[in-house]
Structure 1
C-alpha cells in the first residue's frame, strides 16, 4: 500500500509467494486477481456522492453567493501537450440575452462543419501546421485548410503561432469539450 491508500501498481516479488517461500500457483493468483477485480467493480457500482448531482448540490449550498439562476461548467484535463483547468459561470439573464445568443451562434456556426470538427479533434492531440493537416488527409488542399482554419480562428476557437502552427486557444479547450459533452444524447 502507498501512503495515500491506493494500491501500488509496482510488482511486489514477495506478493507471489506463500508462507513457505514457494511460488503461488497460477490458479491461486488468478483467483486473487478475479477477487480484486470483483471488489473494484462492486465499489464502482455502489451509489456515492460523486455519482449524484454533486455540482448541483454545491450550487445549492452556495446559492447566496451566485446570481439567481446560473449555469456553470468546468473541467480539468491534459490535452494537446498541456494541462487545462477552467470554469465558467453565467447568470441565466446573460445567457438569454439576444446579443449573447447572436455572438454564441456565430461561434457555434464555425464548429458546424465536419472538416472543422476533424481539425479540432486533431488539434486536441497536438498543435499542427497546414502541411500536417494535408498529410493526415484532414483537408485536401492548402486553400481548403486555410478556409477552415480562418473560420475557426475568426470565431476564436484556434490561434496561430509565429511559426505557422495552429492550436486550440487555451481558454477554448474546456468549452469545446463541454459543447461536445452537452450535445450527447442525455
Structure 2
C-alpha cells in the first residue's frame, strides 16, 4: 500500500508540474495559490488523505478549511474546520443562500475587508468614501450581522468573528480564477 501511495503522490506532483508549465505558457502562473512546504505543493491534501485512510467515517471524503494569519491590526488568527462529505451533496443547500447572498454586494465585501483591516467603528466606516450614506452603511452591516459574517462588539463597533475569518478568506481565494 505504501508503494502505491508513493506512486500516487509522484503522479500528483508530476501533474502539478505540468499544470504549472501550462499556466506559465498562457501567463497565468501567478493564479495558482498552492503554497509549498519542502517542495511539496499538495502537503495539506496529502495530510488530509492520510487521515481519511485511517477513518472509516470519512471514507467517502472530506473537505477542510484551514488558515493561519496575522491581521493588519496585529491580531493572530488560526482556524481549522473539517467535515466528512458523506451525504453533503444530497442535502438541501438553500438554507445557506442568505449567508452567500450577504457576500453578493460589493459594499459588504469592502466593509468586511475594512473591518478586518482595523476600521471597526460605524464612524470610521462612514468616513470611507464609496461605502454609501450612513443609512446604507447600517443596512449593509445589518445584512452582514444577520448572516453571521460580522458581529456587533459594542455600540457602533463591529468585528468579524474569528471563526468566520478563514472561511471568508477561503471564499475570496475560491473565486480567483
- TM-score between the two structures when normalised by the length of structure 1: 0.67
What is the deviation of 1:138? Answer: 3.9
Q: Does 1:146 align with 2:135?
A: no
Structure 1 stretches of 5 or more lacking a match? Answer: 1-46
Q: Does 1:159 align with 2:151?
A: yes
Correspondence for 1:87 among 71, 80, 84: 80
Q: Is the 8 A contact 2:58 2:86 kept in 1?
A: no
Using the alignment, how far apart are the partners of 1:50 and 1:107 within structure 2? 37
Using the alignment, how far apart are the partners of 1:103 and 1:75 within structure 2? 25
Aligned to 1:36: none
Structure 2 stretches of 5 or more lacking a match? Answer: 1-35
- TM-score between the two structures when normalised by the length of structure 2: 0.71
Correspondence for 2:128 among 130, 133, 136: 136
Correspondence for 1:54 among 19, 29, 43: 43
Using the alignment, how far apart are the partners of 1:48 and 1:130 within structure 2? 41
Aligned to 1:14: none
Larger Rg: 1
Query: Over residues 24-76 of structure 1, what are the superposed CA-to-partner deviations in whole Å (9 max), with x where a residue is unaligned?
Result: xxxxxxxxxxxxxxxxxxxxxxx864442111211222222361210111000
Using the alignment, how far apart are the partners of 2:51 and 2:160 within structure 1? 32
Correspondence for 1:103 among 95, 103, 107: 95
**SS of 1:180's equivalent?**
helix
Q: Is the 8 A contact 1:80 1:127 kept in 2?
A: no
**CA gap 1:73/1:142 in 2 versus in 1, 3 angstroms:** same
What is the deviation of 1:96? Answer: 2.1
**SS of 1:62's equivalent?**
helix
**CA gap 1:147/1:97 in 2 versus in 1, 3 angstroms:** farther
Using the alignment, how far apart are the partners of 1:86 and 1:173 within structure 2? 8
Using the alignment, how far apart are the partners of 1:48 and 1:154 within structure 2? 38
Using the alignment, how far apart are the partners of 2:37 and 2:134 within structure 1? 51
